[in-house]
C-alpha cells in the first residue's frame, strides 16, 4: 500500500457519521448542510512538535488533544461542534504512529459528535492543524465582547492541573501516586465544556476558554469588552491533587498563569445570576464565581480576600 492510501485509510472513517455531511472526504471539497436558523462558527488551532508537544508524546493523546482544544473554542462560543478538517505535516509516514493518532482523533471526534470531513497531508516537520466548525442559533454566539461593569466572573472546573501536568511529564516535580493519574489525564486528555458552553447562551454576557492561563486570557475579555476586573485569588478553584502536590503559593501560580486547562471563563449579569446554579447543575461541572467586572478599562486587579494581592503576570509558555 502506498503512503497516500495508508493515510487515507487511517482517517477515512474518523468520527461520527453525520447526516448533515452531503459530501465528506474524497472530493475536492466537502459539502455541508448548515441547519436552518443557525450561524456557522469556525476556529483553527495548530500544534507544532517542540512548541506544543514533546516528540515522545503518545500519538493517541495528541489526536485527542487536537480535537479537544478546537472543540473547546467552539464550546466557548456556545456552539455545537459538527465538522473537523485536518492539515497534517509529517516528517515521514510511520504506520504505528499514524494509526494511534487517527484512533485518538477519531474516538474524540466521535465523543463530541463531530465528523472529519477533509484534510491535507504534506511532508515536513511534524505539525498538526485542525479547523473545527460548529453551529449556533442565529445571533446567539457568545463572544469576548459582552462583559459589562458589575457582571460576575465565573470559571468552570479547576485551574492549574494541566500546568502541573506539564511539569510532571518533564520530571520537574514529583507527585504522589494517588494524584498522578488525575494530573496526567488533565494534561493529556483535556475535556471541552461543550454542553455547558451551549447552556451559557442565554446566561453569559461574554465567554472564552482558558488555553494560555487565566491571567493572560482574562486580558482578552477586558480588551474586547472594554472593562476591568477584580479577581479574588482565594476563590480560584483548585483540585485536591494540585493542592496536595505543591505549596499554596506555587499552586496559586499554576492556577493563575498555567495554560491548557480548557475550562470556560465567563461573565454573568447580576439579574441572571440567580438562575445560574439551577440551570447549570445538570451538567455536573462545578462553576465558581472568582471575581467581578469593573469599569476600569483594561485593568486586571487581584485581591486575596479583602487584601490587595500583587501578582506579576508572566505569559504562559507551552514549555
Pairing of strands 206-209, 264-268: antiparallel
116 contacts 84 by C-beta, under 8 angstroms: yes
Concatenate the DSSP letters of all residues of 7-63 into one string.
Answer: HHHHHTT-B---TTEEE-BTBSS-EE-PPTTEEEEEEEEEEEBTTTB-TTS-HHHHH
Nearest CB to Mg ion, comparing residues 104 and 197: 197
- From CA 183, how far away is CA 189, in angstroms rounded? 10
Pairing of strands 80-90, 127-137: antiparallel
CB of 108 to Mg ion, least distance (A): 17
For residue 220, CA distances in Å to 33, 112, 209, 213, 232 come to 32, 26, 11, 11, 18
**Residue stretches of the annotated binding site for Mg(2+):** 28, 43-45, 73, 120, 209, 212
Residues 8-47 that bind Mg ion (CB under 5 A): none
CA torsion, points 100, 102, 108, 114, in degrees to nearest 10?
-170
Nearest CB to Mg ion, comparing residues 41 and 241: 41
Residues 74-133 that bind Mg ion (CB under 5 A): none
Nearest CB to Mg ion, comparing residues 73 and 260: 73
For residue 130, give the C-alpha cell.
485542525
Count of residues near Mg ion by CB under 5 A: 3
**Residue stretches of the annotated binding site:** 28, 43-45, 52, 73, 119-120, 144, 209, 211-212, 260, 316
Q: Near Mg ion by CB under 5 A, which window of 5-13, 31-39, 204-212, 228-236?
A: 204-212
Q: Near Mg ion by CB under 5 A, which window of 2-10, 202-210, 299-307, 310-318?
A: 202-210
Q: Near Mg ion by CB under 5 A, which window of 67-75, 193-201, 269-277, 296-304?
A: 67-75
- From CA 299, how far away is CA 218, in angstroms rounded? 10
Residue 260 contacts Mg ion per CB under 5 A: no
Q: Near Mg ion by CB under 5 A, which window of 59-67, 209-217, 222-230, 254-262?
A: 209-217
**Residue stretches of the annotated binding site for ATP:** 119-120, 144, 211
**Residue stretches of the annotated binding site for substrate:** 52, 260, 316
Residue 73 contacts Mg ion per CB under 5 A: yes
Residue 209 contacts Mg ion per CB under 5 A: yes
Residues of this chain that interact with Mg ion (CB under 5 A) are 73, 209, 211
Amino acid at each position: 500500500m502506498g503512503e497516500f492510501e495508508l493515510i487515507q485509510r487511517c482517517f477515512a472513517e474518523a468520527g461520527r457519521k453525520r447526516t448533515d455531511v452531503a459530501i465528506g472526504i474524497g472530493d475536492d471539497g466537502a459539502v455541508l448542510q448548515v441547519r436552518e436558523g443557525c450561524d456557522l462558527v469556525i476556529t483553527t488551532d495548530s500544534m507544532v512538535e517542540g512548541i506544543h508537544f514533546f516528540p515522545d508524546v503518545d500519538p493517541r493523546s495528541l489526536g485527542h488533544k487536537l480535537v479537544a482544544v478546537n472543540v473547546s473554542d467552539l464550546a466557548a462560543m456556545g456552539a455545537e461542534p459538527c465538522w473537523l478538517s485536518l492539515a497534517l505535516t509529517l516528517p515521514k509516514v510511520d504506520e504505528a504512529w499514524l494509526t494511534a493518532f487517527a484512533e485518538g482523533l477519531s474516538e474524540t471526534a466521535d465523543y463530541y459528535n463531530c465528523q472529519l470531513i477533509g484534510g491535507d497531508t504534506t511532508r515536513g516537520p511534524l505539525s498538526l492543524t485542525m479547523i473545527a466548525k460548529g453551529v449556533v442559533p442565529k445571533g446567539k454566539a457568545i463572544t469576548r465582547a459582552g462583559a459589562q461593569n458589575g457582571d460576575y466572573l465565573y470559571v468552570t472546573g479547576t485551574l492549574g492541573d494541566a500546568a502541573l501536568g506539564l511539569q510532571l511529564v518533564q520530571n520537574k516535580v514529583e507527585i504522589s501516586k494517588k494524584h498522578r493519574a488525575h494530573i496526567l489525564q488533565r494534561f493529556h486528555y483535556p475535556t471541552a465544556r461543550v454542553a455547558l458552553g451551549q447552556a451559557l447562551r442565554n446566561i453569559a454576557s461574554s465567554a472564552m476558554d482558558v488555553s494560555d492561563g487565566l491571567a493572560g486570557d482574562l486580558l482578552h475579555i477586558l480588551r474586547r469588552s472594554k472593562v476591568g476586573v477584580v479577581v479574588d485569588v482565594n476563590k480560584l478553584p483548585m483540585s485536591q491533587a494540585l493542592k496536595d502536590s505543591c505549596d499554596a503559593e506555587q499552586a496559586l501560580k499554576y492556577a493563575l498563569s498555567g495554560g491548557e486547562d480548557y475550562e470556560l471563563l465567563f461573565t454573568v449579569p447580576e439579574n441572571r445570576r440567580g438562575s445560574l446554579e439551577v440551570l447549570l447543575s445538570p451538567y455536573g461541572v462545578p462553576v465558581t464565581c472568582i471575581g467581578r467586572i469593573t469599569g476600569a478599562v483594561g485593568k486586571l486587579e487581584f485581591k486575596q480576600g479583602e487584601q490587595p494581592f500583587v501578582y506579576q503576570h508572566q505569559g504562559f509558555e507551552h514549555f
